[in-house]
Amino acid sequence: MNKIQLVIALIVAAFSLFSYFGSSSVNQITGEKQHIGGMSQKQEVAMGLQSAPQMAQQMGGLSQDARARELVSQVGAKVVAQSVAAKSGYPFKFHTLADPRTVNAFALPGGQIFITMSLLSKLETEGQLAGVLGHEVGHVLARHSAEHIAKDQLTQGLTGAFAMGSGSMNAAQIGQMVGQMTMLKYGRDDELEADGLGLRLMSEAGYDPRAMIRVMQILEKASGGSRNPEFQSSHPSPPHRIEEINAKLKKAFPNGIPAGLTP
C-alpha cells in the first residue's frame, strides 16, 4: 500500500460518509429524521411501479381468484383511506399473488403492496388481513426502502475505500460482512417500526389491533416453529413481536381497546 492509495481511500470514505450523513429529511408521518440520500417520493413510486410486474411474475403471477383480489383491494384501500396514510401522497395499490406455497407479504417502494394466496388463505378475519396490509403500508410510510438504498450506497462506498486502502480483497470481504451486520440490525428495527405503524393504521381504520397478535401466531405456526426462508433473519421472531405488540397496545390504549372495532 502506498500513500497515494491511502489518500484516495480516505477521500472515498469521507465522500461516502458525507453523502450519507450530510443530507437528511424529517418523515411527515413518523416525525423521525432520516438519511435517504435525497431520494424523492416520485422516485420511490417510479421504482415500485417499474418493479411490480417482475415481482408478480417471479411469484406465479397475480391470483385468478377474483373474490380474493377484491377483498385484498377493499381492505387495503380502507386501511389507507381511513388512516394517516391517506395524507402521505403515495398511490397505494394492493396485489394478490397466486403463489400457493410461500407465506409472505411485502411492499415495494412507493406503495405497491403484495400478499400471497398462501398467506391470505391462512388468515381468519378481515382484521388480520388489515393488520398484514397495514404493516406493509407502514414500511412504505416509514420509507424503509429509501433508507436501505442509502445505507447500501454507504456500505459500498466504505467497502470500496477499505479495499483500496488495504489492497486486499479479503479485507474488503470482511468490510462487507460488517456492513451486512449493520443492515441486519436496521432490518429488525424496521420490522418492529412497521408493526407499530400497522397497529396505528388498522385501528384508525376501525380494525381491532389485537388481530395482529393472532397474525404472529399464524406466522409462527406456518414456519413450524422456525423461520421460513422468505422471513429472513432481519425479522424478529413472532413471540418477540407479540411482546412488542402488547407493549405498544398498552401504551396506545391505556384504558383498553375501544369497543366496536372489527376483529
Active site residues: 136
The radius of gyration of the chain's CA atoms, rounded to the nearest angstrom, is 20
Three state DSSP letters for 101-163: CCCCEEECCCCEEEEEHHHHCCCCCHHHHHHHHHHHHHHHHCCHHHHHHHHHHHHHHHHHHHH
Contact 195, 244 (CB under 8 A): yes
User: What is the C-alpha separation between 52 and 57, in angstroms, rounded?
Assistant: 9
**Cα distances (angstroms) measured from residue 37 to each of 34, 111, 184, 194, 260:** 9, 19, 19, 21, 43
Contact 159, 179 (CB under 8 A): yes
What b/e readout covers 192-210, taking b as 16+ CB neighbours within 10 angstroms? Answer: bbbbbbbbbbbbbbbbbbb
Residue that is written with C-alpha cell 411492499 in the block? 107
